[in-house]
Copies of this chain bind each other. A is one copy, B any other.
Amino acid sequence: MRKIVFALFAFLLLFSRWSNAQSDTSFIKDDFKPSILNQPGQDYPQVNSQRYVRFRIYAPQAQSVKATLGGSQGTMLTPSKDGFWVGTTADPVDEGFHYYHLIVDGGVFNDPGTLNFYGSTRWESGIEVPAHDQEFYALKDVPHGHVVQILFPSKSTNSIRRAFVYLPPDYDENHSERYPVLYLQHGWGEDETAWVNQGRVNLIMDNLIAEGKVRPFIIVMTYGMTNDVKIGQLKDFDIKPFETVLVNELIPYIDEHFHTIADQKHRAMAGLSMGSMETKMITLSNVDKFSYIGLFSGASISLDDVSKIPDFKDKIKLVFVSYGSKEIDWLVRLGKEFTGGDPRKNVEDLKNAGINAVLYVSPNTAHEFLTWRRSLKEFAMLLFKQ
């Protein structure tokens, strides 16, 4: 069954990119601006105030150029006499971050105009569509925390593994202070770079801390696809190798090297999509190690799950479940066997059983990073306050 779950998360991820509404013929305003994720000096891709995206690619002898963003078919570009291929999405694109790539004469290439982001087990082109609430993840003139790349030894996988550690702005100065820790997982096909690069988690935290809306804490992000499965091999995914890395190797390393409060009450875990499934599996097996659980766009915890763990209600201070409003139909259709059931019902059931469960729905977003940036923000504000 678990095999099917991971295949479905891969499908969800791919389907989410095709899920924008079909074309209409509304007037497209000529106020296009370069995406903030463009490479230095690159004018394209661009986004307008209506969230249409325009591409411009130089390939004078190409036979066909397509961008995979925009509608269910992507956006076919048309050649111009100066050697550029140009095109605009048929519809507005959701607010927030999107992956895409080009198909040039049948081959998969990235848009040379943009920065790349690791998703779908490859470095993909990325674009940012300004969101009405983008201030919460903007780079502002506030004190900034650090993002630390660590290389930690893993005996169980016989490797040296990488993780990124967010340290809040006052970490360096307050040597007597110790901090709670959130372990935060990416989705299928992504890696430990995703929450900083695509999720802007450090900027979200810097802004929340500057506004006094969260208790400062450390965030640890490492690679969750421990057996390095390819897209066709997801059925081989097994949680145990990653659980061992995280619980037996990474947590002790973090507690040794950083100023943590190294107990269950001050440790949380969360993840998006496949990462939510990993979070559910690992936290339910380790209620003595984690107090707070965040499940974004995927798993939820049912009363049935809880009934198997006698001290769940005592140990777990929060079950936070979220999704984008545009993806709830899928999640419900997937049903109990895949995600643990309808997240709305599960959260209600947990609440009625006296468990602190919270449901958050990101408006007008699908299985994509704006859902997860918002989820992280909402979740962070609830953490470590008991």
Which listed segment binds B: A144-152, A207-215, A269-277, A317-325?
A: A144-152
Partner of A151, one of B39, B40, B144: B144
The stretch from A114-122, A240-248, A332-340 touching chain B is A114-122
Q: Is A61 an interface residue (CB 8 A)?
A: yes
**A22 close to B (CB within 8 Å):** no
Cα of A109 to Cα of B41 in the assembled complex, Å: 16
A258 within 8 A of B: yes
Within 8 A of B (CB), among A101-131: 102, 104-110, 112, 115-116, 121-123
Of the listed stretches A13-21, A52-60, A361-369, name the one at the interface; the rest are far from the partner chain.
Answer: A52-60
Choose among B105, B144, B149, B153 the residue that contacts A60 (Cβ–Cβ < 8 A).
Answer: B105
* Copies of this protein in the complex: 2
The interface size bin for chain A is 35 or more
- Which residues 50-91 in A have Cβ within 8 Å of B in the complex? 57-64, 83
Query: Which B residues lie within 8 Å of A152 (CB)?
Result: 144
Which residues from B are CB-within-8-Å of A116? 116, 123
Q: B139–A58 contact, CB under 8 A?
A: no
Question: Is A230 in contact with chain B by the CB < 8 A criterion?
Answer: yes
Residue pair A41, B230 in contact (C-beta under 8 Å) = yes
Contact between chains at B258 and A172 (CB < 8 Å): yes
Note all chain B residues with C-beta closer than 8 A to A57. Answer: 107
B104 x A107 contact (CB < 8 A): yes
The verdict on A385 contacting chain B, using a C-beta distance below 8 Å, is: no
B-side contacts of A144, CB under 8 Å:
150-152, 160
Residues of B within 8 A of A175 (CB): 175
Kindly provide the distance from the CB of A244 to the nearest chain B CB, expressed in whole angstroms: 18
- Chain A interface (Cβ < 8 Å from any Cβ of B): 39-41, 57-64, 83, 102, 104-110, 112, 115-116, 121-123, 139, 141, 144, 146-153, 160, 172-173, 175, 228, 230, 257-258
Q: Enumerate 27 A-B pairs (CB-CB under 8 Å) in ascending A order.
A: A39-B122, A40-B122, A41-B121, A58-B107, A58-B108, A59-B107, A60-B105, A61-B63, A62-B62, A62-B63, A62-B104, A62-B106, A104-B104, A104-B107, A105-B105, A107-B112, A108-B112, A109-B112, A110-B110, A110-B112, A115-B123, A139-B160, A144-B152, A147-B148, A147-B149, A148-B149, A149-B149
